[in-house]
Amino acid sequence: MQCPDCGAFMTAEDLFCGECGRPLSSQVPPAEPLSPLEAKDLPTTELKTPPRAPSPLAAPPAPRPQPGKKPPLLPILLIAGGALLVVCLCGAGALVWLGSSSKPPEATQPPEATLPPRALLYQDDFGDPSSGWDVYNKDDTLAEYANGEYRVGVYQANYVAWGNPTPGQELADFQVEVDARQAEGPLDNNLGLLVRYQADGENYYWFEISSDGYYSVDLRQAEEWTTLVDWAASDAINQGIGATNHLKVVCAGNRFSFYANDTLLTEVSDDAFRSGNIGLAVGTFDEPGVVVFFDNLQVYPLQD
């Protein structure tokens, strides 16, 4: 039943309307149900279904490490570096807030100490094509001067090519440095410095890096290869075509130290050869076509 005045609902036992107070008679007839035409004309409200939250995307699979090589270190270093940066920034913010009440005196920078230049034992910027380095183009390998640099290319798989200066440098304890830049070919390669290279061309040490971020040290002796340091990854090595890496080897007696971009990668002790020439070498694995440019070669005596 409904009140005739306000339309409020009630029961047959109610004597007064609970909304407007109108006296009611128990004989008030119940409200007639609406006809289909009347119900059709009533205003309607559109009910909207709430949007469903998108399902989370599946995480990409973890990269698989290459056989025989360690996985890249860059993601781990980026995460650790980011966390360290947040801690450092929070600490710096606290220091600024505590010291904001008074301005500290300006700090004076101590003068930089300058070391006297060392005498060079040998150097070559490869600007002079007659400076004495090997020049050849045979058996799908080449070595030549090109635009003020020294270029070595290998166009067959699993092969090594190199060049040496003439006359040979008979060096015992020394430090040699060079810039190396890959210009063509696969990044899975090896390139670097030969030290204590013997006159027969079959005996030497080879410090090598790859353009995908690995390094190794091999000994060539009696027509056999001996791995002194197996391939290992380092984020100190600049990767990719066109990237330049500054390589350095320090030879002191039977001890050798190997650097990339002024970062010490590894050290080795070996007594096979105590002196010899230097060289620049490039090698391929399964894919041929590696071309590397070398520049700014310098040889120094060891500092006391």
* pLDDT recorded at residue 153: 97
- The answer to the question of residue 106 being in a domain is no
Tell me the pLDDT band of 298, cut-offs 50, 70 and 90. very high
pLDDT by residue (tens digit) across 258-292?
Answer: 999 999 999 999 999 999 999 999 999 999 999 99
Residue 172 and residue 31 share a domain: no
Q: Is the pLDDT of residue 24 over 50?
A: yes
Domain assignment present for 270 = yes
Q: How many Cα neighbours within 13 Å face the side chain of 66?
A: 11
- Point out the least confidently predicted range of 18-27, 37-46, 62-71: 62-71
Whether the per-residue pLDDT at 234 is higher than 60: the answer is: yes
Confidence bin at 14 (pLDDT 50/70/90): confident
Mean pLDDT confidence for 49-55: 38
Q: What is the pLDDT of residue 6?
A: 78
**pLDDT of 50 over the 70 cut:** no
CB 281 within 8 A of CB 189: no
Q: What is the pLDDT of residues 80-92, one digit of tens each?
A: 455 454 434 444 4
Does residue 62 belong to any structural domain of this protein? no
In a domain, 148, yes or no: yes
Of residues 154, 163, 187, 177, the one with CA closest to residue 250: 177
223, part of any domain: yes
Residue of 300, 290, 264, 72 whose CA lies nearest to 181: 290
- Please state, for a pLDDT cut of 90, what percent of the chain lies above it: 57
Those residues whose C-beta lies under 8 Å from the C-beta of residue 176, and which sit 6 or more positions away, are 193, 195, 248, 249, 251, 278, 297, 298, 299, 300
In angstroms, the Cα distances linking 207 to 33, 216, 241, 247 are 98, 6, 20, 9
Q: Is the pLDDT of residue 57 over 50?
A: no
Whether the per-residue pLDDT at 34 is higher than 70: the answer is no
The answer on 126 and 34 residing in a single domain is no
pLDDT score for 221: 95
Among the ranges given (32-46, 57-71, 143-157), the one the predictor scored with the smallest mean pLDDT: 57-71
One domain, residues 278 and 136: yes
Task: Kindly state whether residues 265 and 137 are assigned to the same domain.
Answer: yes
Task: Determine the pLDDT at residue 37.
Answer: 57
Range of the domain at 10: 1-40
**Is there a domain that residue 112 lies in?**
no
Inside any domain, residue 190 = yes
Does pLDDT of 28 surpass 80?
no
CB atoms within 10 A of CB 64: 7
Do 21 and 126 lie in a common domain? Answer: no
Q: Are residues 268 and 153 in the same domain?
A: yes
Judge whether 183 and 292 are in contact, CB under 8 Å: yes
Instruction: Name residues whose C-beta falls within 8 Å of residue 101's C-beta, 6 or more positions apart in sequence.
Output: none
Whether residue 218 is contained in a domain is answered as yes
166, 29: one domain: no
pTM: 0.63
What CATH number is given to the structural domain containing 219?
A: 2.60.120.560
Range with the lowest mean pLDDT among 104-108, 206-210, 238-242, 245-249?
Answer: 104-108
The pLDDT value given to residue 213: 97
Count of domains forming the chain: 2
The verdict on 171 and 284 lying in the same domain is: yes
